[in-house]
Amino acid sequence: MTPKKLAALLCLAFAMSAWCAAASAPVAPKIDFISVETARQAMLDETNSPFVSLMEEHEMAVFGLTMTGKPIEQQRAAFSKKLAASITPFSTKEKKMLADCIAKVSAWLDGKYPLLAKQPWKICKTKMKIPPHTRADCIVFPADMVAQYRDAISGGDGNRSLLPELLLARLLLHEQVHVVQRMVMSAKNWNALYAKWGFAPVKSIPLDDPWIKSHKLTNPDGPDVRWLWREDTGGGQQRIWWPLLVTKNSMGNSKGGSPLDYILLEVEETGGALVLKRDANGVPKFKTMRNNAAMRRLMPTFDTPPYHPHEAAADMIDELFFSEIHPPRKQSATQAAFRKQLAKDLEVYFQE
C-alpha cells in the first residue's frame, strides 16, 4: 500500500480528526514569473520601494554606472533605465527549479505561519551583478546566481543535489520575508520583535553628514536606516551604535567578492539630537559588525551581520527554516533556546 492510499484510508476512518487536517496536502503556492515588461516597469517605480532615488554616485558605480560630474538626478534616471534594461526572462528549466524550491518553503510555512504562506510569489531576473533583493512585491534574482544554482542543483547526468536546493529555498524565503515586511506587515508589528534584539527606531539621524553620504550603500530591502542598536556595557551604562551598510570601495577596501561591508557607527545624544562621535581628524568613529560578540549574544543565530532589523529578521527566519530541515551538527544551548523562542514569536507575528 502506498503511503498516499494509507493516508486516504486513515482520513476516511478519522474524517473529523485533526490528524487528517495535518495529513492533507498543502495548498500549492501561487508563483508568478512576471513578464519582462512588467518587471521593467517595477524597476522604474519608486512608489512602494524607494531605492534608486536614495542612491549617491559611488553607490551606482558599484553596479557599473559611472557618470562623474553629472547632476545626481540625471545619474539616478540613467541607473533606473539600466536596471530596467537588465531584466531578462527565466528559462523553463530555471522556472521549474525555482518552483520546486518554493514548494519546499511553502510546505514548511503551511499551517505554521499563514501570513507568510499565503503571500503570492513574484519573481524576475536581472543580468546586473547585484545581490538578490526585492522591489515592491517582487523578488529580483541576478542571472549569474540563478545559473550557479541551476548548475549545482541539476548536473549534466540529471542528479539532483539536495543541499543547493535547500540553500536556494532558504534564499527565496529570505526575500519573501522582505516582501511581507514591506507590503503586508505594519512597522509597529515588527518593532516589538526588533526591540528584543536591541534595535530601536529613531525619528532623525545624521543622514546628510558628508561622510555618511559618501560611504553608505542603499539597501532596497531596508531603505529606511533610522535605527539604533543599543549595547548594554554593564553598570547601567550603554553605548549607542548606528548600524550601516557601506560600500567597500568607499572604505578603501576592494578585497573579496562582495562590494559591501557592515559597520557600527558610534553616536551620542546631545541636546536631544543624535551626533556622530569623531576621532581627532573628524572621521566618524566606527567598528566592524562582523563577529560582534555583543550582537551575537542577543541574536545568536545570525549569519549575515544584522545591519538592519529587517535584514536581521529575514536572516534569522531563513536560518530557522534551514536548521529545521537540515539540523546543524552542533548547536549551543543558547542557539537552541533562541530558535525555539523565534519560532514561537513568528507564530504570533505571522498569524493572519
Nearest CB to Zn ion, comparing residues 10 and 185: 185
Which residues contact residue 221 at a Cβ distance below 8 angstroms, ignoring those fewer than 6 apart? Answer: 133, 134, 175, 178, 181, 182, 308, 310, 311, 314
Which residues contact residue 55 at a Cβ distance below 8 angstroms, ignoring those fewer than 6 apart? Answer: 76, 79, 218
The stretch near Zn ion (CB under 5 A) out of 65-73, 218-226, 256-264, 332-340 is 218-226
Nearest CB to Zn ion, comparing residues 75 and 176: 176
Query: In 180-217, which positions are buried (b, 16+ CB within 10 angstroms) versus exposed (e)?
Result: bbbeebeeeebeebbeebbbebeeebbeebebbeebbb
> Shortest distance, CB of residue 278 to Zn ion, whole angstroms?
30
Cα atoms found within 13 Å of the Cα of residue 184, Cβ hemisphere only: 18
Site membership for Zn ion, residue 172 (CB under 5 A): no
C-alpha span between 8 and 297 (Å, rounded) = 47
> How many residues form the binding site for Zn ion (CB under 5 A)?
3
Q: Judging by beta carbons within 10 Å of its beta carbon (0-12, 13-18, 19+), is residue 231 exposed, middle or buried? A: middle
Site membership for Zn ion, residue 221 (CB under 5 A): yes
Nearest CB to Zn ion, comparing residues 276 and 314: 314
Nearest CB to Zn ion, comparing residues 240 and 350: 350
The stretch near Zn ion (CB under 5 A) out of 9-17, 81-89, 138-146, 213-221 is 213-221
Nearest CB to Zn ion, comparing residues 94 and 318: 318
> Shortest distance, CB of residue 309 to Zn ion, whole angstroms?
11
> Shortest distance, CB of residue 153 to Zn ion, whole angstroms?
21
> Shortest distance, CB of residue 182 to Zn ion, whole angstroms?
11
C-alpha span between 266 and 236 (Å, rounded) = 18
Tell which one of 173, 314, 317, 342 touches Zn ion (CB under 5 A).
Answer: 314
In the beta sheet, which residues pair with residue 265? 242, 286
Q: Judging by beta carbons within 10 Å of its beta carbon (0-12, 13-18, 19+), is residue 314 exposed, middle or buried? A: buried
The stretch near Zn ion (CB under 5 A) out of 37-45, 87-95, 237-245, 314-322 is 314-322
The stretch near Zn ion (CB under 5 A) out of 188-196, 217-225, 247-255, 287-295 is 217-225
> Shortest distance, CB of residue 117 to Zn ion, whole angstroms?
19
Residue 349 contacts residue 184 (beta carbons within 8 Å) = no
Any idea which residue has 532615488 for its cell?
53
Enumerate the H helices of 300-349 as residue ranges.
Answer: 309-325, 333-349
> Shortest distance, CB of residue 134 to Zn ion, whole angstroms?
8
> Shortest distance, CB of residue 256 to Zn ion, whole angstroms?
19
Site membership for Zn ion, residue 56 (CB under 5 A): no
The stretch near Zn ion (CB under 5 A) out of 66-74, 250-258, 283-291, 312-320 is 312-320
The stretch near Zn ion (CB under 5 A) out of 97-105, 120-128, 304-312, 319-327 is 304-312
Cα atoms found within 13 Å of the Cα of residue 28, Cβ hemisphere only: 5
Nearest to 223 by CA among 101, 122, 346, 136: 136
Nearest CB to Zn ion, comparing residues 116 and 314: 314
Residues that bind Zn ion (CB under 5 A): 221, 311, 314
